[in-house]
A = this chain, B = another copy of it.
């Protein structure tokens, strides 16, 4: 991969178009976190393959913005290229607009009066592009061209948009028909005084229609748009993806089908007073199509209702069938994890462990999961980080980085699976032998944080921003912290990251209500030394109702022992210890009937009270 050659090709196009810079976000026309290869322009131009990051290329310089999860990985991957790493949320880091302001002003190249910057408006949300336009304007009036995709000219072996077949997601797992979901969506639209909406988020479309696909790595979704009006529902999709079964299903559900590329025409022909467009979800290009309707040709004007898509929150509240599916998936995942941990226990503290590597244990774990009924795929690329690799938050072992394990230190293992009845996400940090005091301390602080979230009781409608600190208070007292969120929602055989609710330091105005799933995954990462993270997936359930309203609590869905040897007992409060012992008893009681005698014996010890 010759990044410098690619930059050269890009700059030739830029000079032809009189562009001072090009911006490549990590997003696609559907604002997914994980995207089909076709839209991985940022990765192609910079070489950085993390899930979040923005590359910016001027005629004389290049920079890449990413967040703390990827600082170490990005530094590695950008080595030897022109790209400088810009660390988001670190004091002193310029914004993209500020950096462009400086670069374009200071540039001494022969085109210094060019002040136009380009972005592909199709691949960024309306809100992002609008904010960027405003920010750039403040930098001496830099302008943004939004209809330009240089990749069309320079990315010669660009992968196609996927054409994988779609399948129907059985009602037995979905728990609610597409018909009923659409009726609820229309009701939500009426409450927002909207006549219709355009859905662009692939998981929202899959959830609404009870369909699944395989277009995106680990995310069972398919590339499409869904346009809902007060009378019609139209799916914009490449028709080769539709099997006869799916076509018949769509017909029965009264859903029209148009070609994927026809969505702009669909919006032009949309004939109602207004339409809800979620500016964080709908790309700028489509937003502009609607906005300009009144201005051009003879198209009827359509008012835009700019609000968060109601589907986002609707799908996060699981129905009874979905919750039953989660429990079933978590049981299977717990069995697979326990079998794996039992297998690994044979190596712990022994020299033979050096026969294992980060990648080989990932393969072992995945093969154990694959033996479980209804297994479909992993839900994200396993993070198996040994020793210092554990400090790389989103580490993914590759043949180049893979290292053998040693009978000491911590192994951080974050993994999950897609089962047809539910999606899982679990992190365990495991002592492979003797530990340093530092390793034990960070492990215990993380566990305390994890348990404080598990213990939390809160009024219905509280936000994850309020609750987040419970996971951090113990480590903050030691001057330690982690810069990622503490938890995210999880889909039902859908994306492992599902919003908008979260636990995080930043504000997320998404009330927590009963029926939501959310992970609890604090961590501490000491760069170059070690990392620890402990994660369960929680279900929000009722707690009590008083004169002060409804109160909620968490139920741990994840069933897997939490490694005990690294725990410094003196640092745990009696309440935290009581939670751990109770959780372990529950894990043992639930999993043991599904294990053989050896596994059971091991689990009994792993779950014994401290």
Number of copies: 2
Query: Is A80 close to B, CB under 8 A?
Result: no
Q: Which has the most chain B C-beta neighbours within 10 Å: A457, A476, A477, A507?
A: A476
Q: Tell me, yes or no, whether A353 is within 8 Å of chain B by CB.
A: no
Given known A-B contacts A456-B473, A467-B469, A462 and B548 have beta carbons under 8 A apart: no
The complex places the Cα of A473 from the Cα of B551 at a distance, in Å, of 12
Contact in complex: B458, A476 (CB < 8 Å): yes
Interface residues of A in 31-74 (CB under 8 A from B): none
Contact A457 B477 (CB under 8 A): yes
Contact A551 B505 (CB under 8 A): no
**CB pair A193 B457 closer than 8 Å:** no
Residues in B neighbouring A473, C-beta threshold 8 A: 456-457, 470
Q: List chain B residues, Cβ under 8 A from A193.
A: 138
Chain A residues within 8 Å of chain B by Cβ, number: 35
Q: Identify which of B138, B465, B477 contacts A507 (C-beta below 8 A).
A: B465
Q: Are A505 and B466 in contact, CB atoms less than 8 angstroms apart?
A: yes
Residues from chain B with Cβ under 8 Å of A545 in the complex: 479
A388 at the B interface (CB under 8 A): no
A544 nearest CB neighbor, chain B only: B479
Check: A549 CB closer than 8 A to any chain B CB.
yes
Contact of A468 among B456, B466, B480 (CB under 8 A): B466
Contact B480 A457 (CB under 8 A): no
Taking the nearest CB of chain B, how far is it from the CB of A350, in angstroms?
A: 34
B residues near A481, Cβ cutoff 8 Å: 459, 548-549
Shortest CB–CB separation between residue A579 and chain B, in angstroms?
Answer: 13
Q: Known pairs A456-B473, A465-B465; list 8 more (Cβ under 8 Å).
A: A91-B549, A138-B193, A457-B477, A466-B469, A479-B546, A481-B549, A526-B547, A527-B547
Would you give 19 A-B contacts (Cβ < 8 Å), ordered by A? A91-B549, A138-B193, A456-B473, A456-B476, A459-B481, A463-B507, A465-B466, A465-B507, A466-B505, A467-B469, A469-B469, A469-B470, A470-B473, A479-B543, A479-B544, A479-B545, A480-B548, A481-B548, A527-B547
Q: What 7 pairs between A and B have smallest CB-CB spacing?
A: A479-B546, A481-B548, A507-B507, A457-B477, A457-B476, A479-B544, A466-B469
